Amino acid sequence: MHKLPGAAAQQAPNSLERPGLEVRGLCKRFGAVMAVDGVSLAVAEGELLAVVGPSGCGKTTLLRLIAGLEQPDSGRVLIQGHDVTGLPPERRDVGFVFQQFALFPNMSVAANVEYGLKRKGVPGPERAQRVQEMLDMVGLGSLARRRPDQLSAGQQQRVALARALAPRPKTLLLDEPLSALDAAIRVRLREELRETQRRLGITTVLVTHDQEEALAIADRVVVMNAGRLEQVGTPWELYDRPQTRFVASFIGRGNFLSGQVQGNAIDFGPWGRVAKTAVPGAAGLPDGPVTALVRPEAVTLALDTPPGGSPSAGEGLAGSGAAGGVGAHEVGLAAAAVVVDVSFGGERSLVKLAVHGSPWIAAVFGAAGRRAASLTGQAVFLFVPVTALRILPSG
C-alpha cells in the first residue's frame, strides 16, 4: 500500500532477466556491528550502479563482499549467473579500484597495468600491446616507465582504472575512486570514468559518499543506511519520489512538513489543511501522522511584490491560501517568511528562510538571488503548490 510508482520502476532499466551481478540476502557482522544486513540487489549487464550512504553504512563492506575480500556470514554472490560466494577474489574475475588506488610502489606504471594480465597467463607480446592500449585509453601512454609515486593523484587514479580493466573483468568495482582527488579534477574524471564504462559496456558498482557524484553518472542509485538498503532507483526517482526521510535528506536538499491525516484532508498545522486527493500519492493514506517533503526549487518566493502591510496581514493571507486557494490560480500552501541568508551559487542561489519558526530553504534562479539577498531580514511571501508535496510513506 505504501509502495509508490518509483519503487516498482526500479526493475525497469535494461534487462534484469540475467543480471551481470546479483547478491542475495548478504549479511556480514563485525563484532557487535551488523555491517551488511540482508542486502539483495541485481545489477543489469552493462549497468552502472552507484551505492551511496553516510560513512559506516556498510557500502564498502558490500563491495568487498562482492569482490571476495570479505566472506559473508550468509547470503550469495552471483556474477553473470555463476555463484562465486565461496571463491577467493583471484577467481572471481572482478576489477577493483581502491580508494587510495593501492598501486604497487615497487613496480612501474606499465608493470602495474600488466600485473593482472600476467596472472591470467596472457602471452608476452599480447600483454605489452594490451598495456599500451589501456594506458592510451586513459591518456597516460607516455608515462609507462614512471613509478607510481612520480604521478599526480589524478594520474594515479587513471593507472588504477587501467590496471583494473586490463584483464577484461566481468565486473568493475569502484570503492570511492575519486574521493582522494581535488574537486575540479573529480568532476572531470567522473565524466571520463562514465564514458569509459559505457564504451566497454562493463557491469559496474560504484561506492561513494558523494550523492552528487552518484546522481551525475549512475544508471541507478542505491541508498544504504545502517547496513540495509533504504531505496533503489534511477537518480530522478530517488530525487523526486524518496521513500524515507533518510533518502529525502541524503539525496538533495529539502524542507519537511509534519501533518496529520484526518479523513479526506491533511492538516499541516499552521500551514492549514489541504484535500488528500490534491496531494500526489496521498489518496490512500490512513488517518495518522504523515511527513511531506518540499524540494527547494518547488518553493516560490514572491520577491517582486512588496509585502504591503504588517506581517500579521501577511499571515492572514497565507492562512486563506492554505484553506483552499482563495484568490489563487493554483492550490497550495502559502506563508510569510523572513529571509535569513542567501548563499550565492551562480545559476542557482539558495535562500534560507524562517517560516512559522522553523528554518526553510528555497532555490531561486539567476538574478533573483541578488534580489533575495537585498531583502535579507525582511518578510516575503512563500508559496508551495500542492502538487509539489511528496509524501514520505515510511516516515
Query: Contact positions toward other proteins, by CB under 8 A?
Result: 28, 30-31, 33, 35, 55-56, 60-61, 64, 67-71, 88-92, 94-96, 98-100, 102-108, 110-111, 113-116, 119-120, 127-128, 131, 144-145, 147, 163-164, 167, 173
Q: Are strands 220-225 and 228-233 parallel, antiparallel or unpaired?
A: antiparallel
CB atoms within 10 A of CB 156: 22
**Are the beta carbons of 67 and 102 closer than 8 angstroms?**
no
The strand ranges marked E within the chain are 21-30, 33-43, 48-52, 74-79, 82-83, 94-97, 171-175, 203-208, 220-225, 228-233, 255-262, 265-267, 273-275, 288-294, 300-302, 332-343, 348-355, 358-365, 379-385, 390-392
From 346, 368, 348, select the one nearest 253 (Cα to Cα): 348
Closer CB to other proteins, 116 or 259, in the complex: 116
Nearest-10 crossing angle of helices 124-137, 109-120: 130
Q: Are strands 348-355 and 288-294 parallel, antiparallel or unpaired?
A: unpaired
Phi-psi domain of 201 (left: phi exceeds 0; alpha: psi -120 through 50; beta: other): left
- Please give the DSSP secondary-structure letter assigned to residue 297: G
Cα-Cα-Cα-Cα dihedral sign, residues 65, 70, 76, 80: positive
Please report how close the Cβ of residue 250 comes to other proteins at its closest, in angstroms.
Answer: 19
Please report how close the Cβ of residue 173 comes to other proteins at its closest, in angstroms.
Answer: 8
- Distance between CA 305 and CA 175 in Å, rounded? 50
- Distance between CA 18 and CA 200 in Å, rounded? 19
Give the three cell numbers for residue 164. Answer: 583494473
Please report how close the Cβ of residue 202 comes to other proteins at its closest, in angstroms.
Answer: 14
